[in-house]
Every structure is written in C-alpha cells, then in structure tokens.
Amino acid sequence: MSDDSWPTLPLEEWQDTYATLHMWTQVVGKIRLAQTPLVNHWWNVPLYVTARGLTTSIMPYGKRSFEIDFDFIEHQLLIKADDGATAAVALVPRSVADFYHEVIKTLRGLGIEVKIWPVPVEVPDPVPFELDQRNASYDAEYVSRLWRILARTAKVFEEFRSRFIGKCSPVHFFWGSFDLAVTRFSGRRAPEREGADPITREAYSHEVISHGFWPGVRASGAAESAESVGTIREPAFYAYAAPEPEGFGQARVRPQQAFYSTAMKEFILLYAEARRADSPEEALTEFLQSTYEAGAELARWDRAALER
C-alpha cells in the first residue's frame, strides 16, 4: 500500500468499482438488517470500520452467532461463526448477481439460512441483486484507498464524538447512502418531516446535527442518497442539521474552503481541500466543530448539558 494516509480518490477513475462495491455492501448490510433487532434511528443497520475494512459486527443466529467482514487488505469477504466455522468469498471482478449467490451459498454451507429482500435501496432504478450483471468491476487499489480514507476519517470522528456527552450515534457506515457518519442529538423530539416515509420518520424523530464523509455522486447518479442529492461529484465531508434552524446556511464556518450547498442543504468541505491542508485532521476537526457550533447555537441546544 501507498504511504499516503489521505490518498487521492478521483471519482472518474473508480466509479464502476464504486457501483459494484455499493451493491456488495448492500447485500451484506441487508443480512445484518435481517438478523438484528431494530435500534433507534436504524443503528442496527450500518457497518463499522475495522483495521482491515468493514464489518457487520456480531449477529445472532439461533443459538449461534456470526459476523461478516470485508477485508480490503487480502480482498476477501470473511464469514466467521462462534463455533469456529469460517468461510471466505474472494473480492475480485465479478457481477453483483454472482457475489450475491455465492454469499448466500457460502452462508448455507455454514448452516446459516438468511432471507433478505434482495433489492437495493437508495438508488434510482434498482436492479434485484440476483439479476444485476451490469455492475461487475473491482479495482483493489481504489477500494484500498477508500478504506484508508474511512479509517482516517473514523479516527477524527471518534475524537469529535468523545467531546459530546449527550446522545450520539456510533461512527458507522450506512450502506444505503454509502457514507460514514456520526450524529449528535439535542434530546428533543423533532417535528415530523414533510413527506417522511417510515425509514426517514424513524431516522429523524429527534433533532440532530450530523457529519459524514461521502465519495460523491457517480456520473450515473446511482449513488445519490436521500440526504445528499446535489451536484457534488467528488469525495466530500458534509454537515447538516435536521430540522435546519433559520440562518444555518449563512453561518460562518471553518476552514475557509467550506461552503454551504443550497441544493443539498448541507455544509461541504471537499476532500481534496482537506487533503491539501497542512494537517487534514485539523482541517476536518475545524469543520466538524464549527458546523456543530453553528447548528447548536441557532437551534438553541443546551450545550452546557451536552458537552464536556
């Protein structure tokens, strides 16, 4: 691997791999969704960054438990059960349909029968996994770059999270919108969002200020998320408040390269700008803290009770 801890990730060079990996994470994520009880705001759904990739963490299966890990160093999908049973699926150029069928077959070989709704979410014109022959790319170098960025970002997010003693999400990877996120809560219920479906109604039942990293919208638009529909076609860090307090978009935030997208209703710090800073970690921390302070002040959060 390169020594570059914040590597470049030009979207146009890996968007086919991005599309395929997005669907693969949805296959695995839907297994976690099927096997775990609902936690507030769908916190039982995401994956987590590890020292080698992404994991479901432990999931129950009858009297057994198992977990599924994406290993982006050896480029394998590892399935491990608490009785010592293990299996692996190679992460190589292969269609979503092939990946889906092999994962289900491999689980079955371990005595694990899992039923999921095999249709991707949060993408336009979804193709059922078993029929998706279109997405079949896997460039190991760019997947490794993505993972290294997620790992570095997670470290900054965890430090930022530690300063908050109110309710706060884990640092987790949402496979639907394909972003790494951490979300703080004021403790107050939020008015129901206009046109909310059951998913967004649960996700935004309380006031939040959320931060994340997102690889950007591919040219096809296939990676657009419910919260990030806009024109950002490159990796970026984001911040938003829901509901958004009056004046949030006009707030002065740091670093100076950050800007507010009226289309997305989010503050954006392009990854390329953070990467060029003398200290990307410090630039990202400034962005997280200043956007949080702007939202918390304008929404009149009880900061004395919520922060260390």
pLDDT tens profile 131-149: 999 999 999 999 999 999 9
Looking at the structure, tell me whether residues 113 and 261 fall in a common domain.
Answer: no
pLDDT at residue 227, as a whole number: 43
Residues of the chain with pLDDT below 70 are 1-3, 219-230
Cα distances from 262 to residues 51, 208, 226, 249, in angstroms, run: 36, 19, 15, 8
Q: Which tokens go with 290? A: 């200043």
The dihedral formed by the CA atoms of 86, 66, 127 and 23, expressed in degrees to the nearest 10: -80
In a domain, 5, yes or no: no
pTM assigned to the model = 0.94
Using the 8-state DSSP alphabet, how is residue 200 labeled?
H
For 113, the domain range is 11-131
pLDDT at residue 217, as a whole number: 85
Looking at the structure, tell me whether residues 295 and 161 fall in a common domain.
Answer: yes
State the total domains in the chain.
2
Looking at the structure, tell me whether residues 113 and 228 fall in a common domain.
Answer: no
Count Cβ atoms within 10 A of the Cβ of residue 55 and give its class: 0-12 exposed, 13-18 middle, 19 or more buried.
buried
pLDDT at residue 219, as a whole number: 59
Q: Which residue type sits at 164? A: F
